[in-house]
Amino acid sequence: MLLRRPGGLARRRRGRCGVRRGGTEREGHRHRRRGAGGQRVRHQPHHAGGDRDAGPGTSLTTAVRRCEPRVGGWSRLHRARAAGSEPDAVDAAPGSPTDRRAAGPGLAHRWGVSSGGRLRARAGPGWTHRPHSCPDQRGGPVLTYSRDEIAAYLDGVVDLEPTPDAAGLLDGVAEELHALDRRPGEVVLVALANGAALLRCFFGVLLAGGVPALVPPGTPTGRIREIADRIGARTLITTGHPADPPGRRQLGPVQVETLTGVLPQRHEPGHVVILTSGTSGVASGCLHRFSSLTRNAARHARSVGLRADDTILVNLPLYFSYALVAQALAGLVTGARLVIAGPPFTPAAYWTAVREHAVTSSSVTPYMVRGLVAADWRPPPSLRMLTVGGESLDPATAGAVLDRSPGLELYLTYGLTEAGPRVSTLAAHREPRRRLGTVGRPLDGVRVALRDPGPDGVGELLVTSDTVLRRKVGVAEGRVGDCLVGPDQIATGDLFLLDDDGYLHFRGRLSDFVVTGGTKVSLASVRRIANALPNVIASATRTYQAHDGTRFDLDLYLYEADPVVAEEVRRELRRQLVRTEWPSRIRTLSLRDLGHK
């Protein structure tokens, strides 16, 4: 059934700063600050709601939120209650930590699977609070995706490397979390290769009341454990290996592992954690509402003209926010069909996939575009539009794509995970060539400003939107850890020039990150991992521009400069880093090179 609005608010004891005793997130904290015109604004505990009509299957609800200034000591919530009515719906929180009507501690008491394989939910009164920010100013209609609608969407996905027996994962994940007695709002890591199986597990966790976090499938075991410890995820969904640990349970083509010793963290159901290894360190992520991600996907789809009759090729990793939101979720909100391919990228394989499956929409990174141009690639007739994101594309390459592809729609985009993620779009095929060096103008519902612009007009970009992250989870390494600077506003760490026509010109980064091989890399994370190795005293990174983009070298200062020790350190470092984080060169230096005596 659809989630229904409860009849009353649950009362909970509050700890300081809105943190519940035991370390889990406090959702009902009241917070006052000055609003427009000097009025005091109170963050009131809202209660969950949704469509009152019952229907088959559990639903994910994208809902309207409002919180108004207090008038005469009464909030809008209390005025509505005094009048005998209910306030507007908010994100439903079935079985949330504030639900005191649901008996027992586990997921089994709040969620179940009907005999027909559909999830059913008993929604309790949930409070929502946005840490580090002012009340949400949400608008627009309530959008609901039932279990059956999501299943129908996934059934239409074309998987170029299909996983056998994956069809039952959407419901099977919920049953498994039920059997493991997982509590609503717990984070679940999903480390699977690109494909329909990954999306079924992602949506299965959401429909079960969990909070999914997608992890690169090739992540080393030690790194997965670090991520799990930092973000409080005691459940891992992955593929089997010859030496499977005893804590794993088989679920069709995947395995569900309980990570022992992890202190679980809980959030409100209906949220997603998107890891930000290239933005804030390897063990951190952004907590987003699923509703805000679909809202951002819809805005991006409108900006590039994505339609229900389109076929989208997804060959970027789905653990990238770009692919997850701008492609997979954009397909959900528009009704477009997905064709999923996996890395690695080659121009020949890309051309074959586009031609054989009549792909009309494709998203690539500048790294991929440069490879296509170098291979003298020409798009097949079916390809209507190409969107580029991940980093800025140089004007010469953008011009070369347009010259070789008459009639092709080329969209240059900018975004970052913290923003939810898409921020701006340039319809390059409709613009004069002088604007190919920009990333366009902000999407509808997104406002931008520059902080501390210099004499040249360049400053740090501030983004204000109702799709920005709720908060960071895990450990943020580097400057962007404190990116929330105002109500629904983030500081990007990127330097831009904003011209008189509202177009954004990228000028560089304030943060300690580089984009190499089309992937963001946190240099702070690389140095931290290197410094933790035996015999390593310190490390330093050096960036430089190569013919194919930004590269970096790593200097390791060792206690012993012995060649055998140095080789052992290199081997261990490569084991702990993912491939995109590998330096171009590693130098091993002695103590005296660092100045130690």
Instruction: Show Cβ contacts of residue 376 under 8 Å, excluding neighbours closer than 6 positions.
Output: none
At 532 the pLDDT is 82
State the residue for tokens 């580090």.
132
Helix (H, G, I), strand (E, B) or coil at 494: strand
At 240 the pLDDT is 73
Task: Give the pair of three-digit tokens for residue 389.
Answer: 């994101």
Strand partners, 442: 424
157-275 — its CATH code? 3.40.50.980
At 122 the pLDDT is 27
Residue intervals of the chain classified under CATH 3.40.50.12780 are 288-509
Q: Specify the DSSP element, H or E, that contains 575.
A: helix 563-576
Chunked mean pLDDT (size 10), the chain, 597 residues = 32 38 39 41 35 41 33 33 35 32 30 32 27 34 75 97 94 95 97 97 97 93 92 94 71 95 95 78 84 97 98 96 97 98 88 96 92 89 95 91 95 96 98 97 98 93 97 69 85 94 90 77 87 84 80 86 88 91 89 46
Within 10 A of 381 (CB to CB), how many other CB atoms are there? 10
Strand partners, 464: 447, 489
Yes or no: say if 274 and 184 are a contact pair by the CB < 8 Å rule: no
At 479 the pLDDT is 45
Residue (of 356, 312, 361, 359) closest to 337 by Cα position: 312
Task: Give the pair of three-digit tokens for residue 149.
Answer: 């609608």
Residue intervals of the chain classified under CATH 3.40.50.980 are 157-275
For helices 169-179 and 147-155, give the axis angle rounded to 10 degrees: 130
Q: What is the largest CA-CA distance in the chain?
A: 79
State the residue for tokens 């949220």.
271
Yes or no: say if 456 and 497 are a contact pair by the CB < 8 Å rule: yes
Distance CA 250, CA 244 (A): 10
Residue (of 179, 141, 122, 156) closest to 62 by Cα position: 141
Instruction: Show Cβ contacts of residue 185 under 8 Å, excluding neighbours closer than 6 positions.
Output: 96, 97, 209, 210, 211, 266, 267, 268, 269, 271
Class of domain 513-594: alpha beta
- Enumerate the H helices of 180-284 as residue ranges: 196-207, 221-231
Distance CA 506, CA 459 (A): 10
CATH architecture of the region 288-509: 3-Layer(aba) Sandwich (3.40)
Yes or no: say if 236 and 224 are a contact pair by the CB < 8 Å rule: yes
Q: Write out the DSSP string of 176-202.
A: HHHHTTPPTTBEEEEE--SSHHHHHHH
At 282 the pLDDT is 60
Q: Is 181 left (phi over 0), alpha (psi -120 to 50) or beta?
A: left
Burial of 534 (0-12, 13-18, 19+ CB in 10 A): exposed
**Phi then psi for 505, rounded to 5 degrees?**
-115, 115
Task: Give the pair of three-digit tokens for residue 450.
Answer: 């520059």
Q: What's the 3-state SS for 8-47?
A: CCCCCCCCHHHCCCCCCCCCCCCCEEECHHHCEEECCCCC
Measured CA to CA in angstroms, residue 281 lies from 93, 371, 480 at distances of 30, 28, 9
What angle is formed at CA 524 by the lines to CA 521 and CA 525, rounded to 5 degrees?
Answer: 70
Instruction: Show Cβ contacts of residue 256 under 8 Å, excluding neighbours closer than 6 positions.
Output: 173, 176, 180, 235, 236, 237, 248, 249
At 281 the pLDDT is 55
Helix (H, G, I), strand (E, B) or coil at 314: strand
Measured CA to CA in angstroms, residue 387 lies from 193, 338, 368, 507 at distances of 23, 15, 11, 21
Task: Give the pair of three-digit tokens for residue 42.
Answer: 């109170």
Yes or no: say if 91 and 65 are a contact pair by the CB < 8 Å rule: yes
Residue intervals of the chain classified under CATH 3.30.300.30 are 513-594
Yes or no: say if 263 and 232 are a contact pair by the CB < 8 Å rule: yes
At 245 the pLDDT is 67
- End-to-end Cα, the chain, rounded Å: 71
